Every structure is written in C-alpha cells, then in structure tokens.
Structure 1
Amino acid sequence: MHAKVKQFPSDRAVDNARQQFRNDQISPTYRGEWHLAFTCTLALAVIIGSSMALHAVQALEWLAVPVTWLYANFAEWAGHRFVMHRPVKGLGLVYRRHALQHHRFFTHDHMEIDDARDFKAVLFPPVLVSFFVCAFFAPIFAVLAWSISLNVALLFLLTGMVYFVNYELFHLAYHLKEDHWVHRLPGFHRLAQLHTTHHDPRLMAHKNFNISYPFTDWLMRTWDRR
C-alpha cells in the first residue's frame, strides 16, 4: 500500500485547473500545430544531419543504437520518477510543469485534450527541449566522440533524438480523443491504458513512468497493467 492516497479530483476541479492553465500559460498567439512542428522539425534536422555525417560505420559501432535505446528508456523512467514527480533543487520548472500542471490538467478520468491549443499542456516547451539537449545529449556526444569514435557519437545522437520525438508523439497521442485513428493502431490501446493508469492520482508518483515502452518499468517493478 502507498503511504498517502490522494482523493480523486472532481470534474469541476479538473475543469477549473484546465481553465486556469489556459488563462495563465497559453498565450493568445499560441498555436499547438506550430509547437508540434517545432519539435518534429528539430528532431528531423538532428536525425538527418547525424545520418549524413556517418561514414563507414563498423559492425561494433552499430551497438551504439541498442545501447542508446536502453539508456534513453532508463533516462525517461528516472527523469519522470525522480525529477518530474519530486521537487529537485535547480529543476523546479520541470516538476511544476509536470506534476503541478500536466497532472492537474489530465487525470485518469479526464485524459483527452479539447483542441490543438491544449498541446501546450502535453508537449515539452522549447526551453525545456533546449535544456535536455544541452544537458543530456551534448556532453555524452562529446565524450563518445573523444573516447570511442565520431560514428558512435553520431549514432547516439541520432537514436536519442528518434527516441525523444517518439516519446513526444506517443505522449500527445495518448491524450487525443478516443475516436482518433491513432487509437486503432495495433498495440496502441495497451500503451495508452498504461499511461491512463499513471494519471490516477493515487499512482502517478509510483507507477508507469515509461511513456513510450515500459521496459524499465518492468525491470524496476513499477509496471502496473491495471
């Protein structure tokens, strides 16, 4: 049992939280489609640039792809569990953005966005995207390029960015209306249900921290399939 059980927010409480977020956080000029386009364009530029810079990749260098995938899956889990759901000095913006805004905007009973302006409550703001790129990609890229090879560093960057945009698109898709075509894709409903369970106020700080693929959740026994 968990030490603290949170009460379910009422429909009115969720409506109030959504309206407050829209009033305080969403500019009249904001366009969700542009926000999504920024994320996808940035990722695509890095992916294409990294791919074009690869040269004569050796067999062992390709191991950077599965290793990076495992690293990204663990980083997703750890960042979600220990930064997004717990206040950490210097990373308060991430905690506030996720635990205090995203999880008040969406609960397990209120998962759907109303329109594209609500993308602001799901997608990472550009400032946080820039932060994660500088904090997690750039230093490791430099170390790998110096200590192993440029190809390994490029494969790390390429795979990491594919994982990131996959994370963002999956997360957004989970919050689309249930009659959207994406919910009919094979296997998607199961992943969406895992994320819905995570948005249960009783479980959000304890279960289902992988947004994309629940490998580390399974490994760390934080996977809840209910």
Structure 2
Amino acid sequence: MLSDYITTVLAAGWISLRLAFLALLLAVVLGLLGALGKRSGSRLLRWPVEVYTTVVRGVPDLVLMLLVFYSLPALLNQGLESLGWDYYVEFSPFAAGCATLGLIFGAYMTETFRGALQGIPHGQIEAAQAYGLGRARTFFGIVLPQMIRLALPGFTNNWLVLVKGTALVSLLGLQDIMFRARGAAEATGKPFTFYLIAGGFYLAITVISLLALMWLGKRYSMGVRELSQ
C-alpha cells in the first residue's frame, strides 16, 4: 500500500521536470532577447525591457502565477465577450505554470546574459568585423561561447531556483510531485515520509544539475585556463 503511494509520487517527478525544462527554454529565449534589448542603443527597445525586469523581479512569484492562471483568462474572456465573440479562454495549470515561470526567470536571465555580454571585450567584436565576419558568425563563433562561460554561474543559480519554483504550480492543481506528495501524506497520515521523498527528488535534481553544469563550465573554460598558464 505504502509502496504504491511512493511509486505514484515519484512518477509525478516527470511532470515537474518537463515543466522546469520548458520554462527554462522560454526563460533563456526571453533572457537573450532582453539582454540584447538592454544593450541596444534604442530607448524604444531598452525601456520595455527595463519595465519588464523591474516589475517581474518586484512581484512575488506566487502572485504572478495566480494572476496568470485566474485573472488573465477572466480579463481575456471579458474582452472577448464585449466584442461579441463566443469564445472562452482557459489556461491549464501546466501551461499557466510554464508561462509564468518562463516570464519570471526570463527577467533574471536577462540580467545574467547582460552581465555576461558586458564581460566580453568589445575589441574582439571589432576585430571580427575587421576580418569581414558577419553579425551571425561573430555572435555564434565569438560572442556566444564566451557568453556561455561567463553566464554559467548565474544561469546555474537561476536554474536551481526555477526547479524549486515548480513546486508552486501544485497550488494551481497541477498533479506534480508536490501535489501527489501532499495527497499521499493526507491519505496515509505520514506527511514526513512523503514530503521527505519530494525533498529528496529536488535535492537529487540539484546535485545532478550542479555536476552537469560544473562539467560544462570546465569544458568552456579549457582555452582560458591554457592561456592563463
């Protein structure tokens, strides 16, 4: 009986992982666009990004999640009704959680990538342009590899916080590992056991992520170490 509950709880870990990876993908895209926007010479691009990062980092994650899941569909439905459209908008807990976490950590990734881009000597970009390299080849061949190395510490921290942030989506009704751990704890009267299992799951993801990102950091730092010797 107890083993069945444990299996059910651990099986929900896949939902939490899928949510985390999809939210990370959205956060990375928004972070790259935001970082490029902040470094743009156009105020028309800089100001929206400044507002986005300031607002998102200043409002609690749970508040934003509740706004996206409950308030945004209600607002959209009111607008559609006023236009006379017979259409009803409703977000699933997974979609709302993924979008919210992506938006939240996109703001943090923006600052991470912006700092990494600032750490790349501008002379290297000028040298690439002098050799006739186009913008795409300069970015992917010179800027991006160095940006990854410089952004990895901040990226690692953001990823670990994002993974733990997926637990908040259980409050929207998503049957992730926290949702099922809470259900199993209430059904069996053994909250310590099942919350410990959920905590162990997040800890395992943290350890695996740290090892993988440490390896990636060493890989991208190999040339730097050789030049410094």
Q: TM-score, normalised by structure 1?
A: 0.36
Greater Cα radius of gyration, structure 1 or 2: 2
- Select the structure that is richer in helix: 2
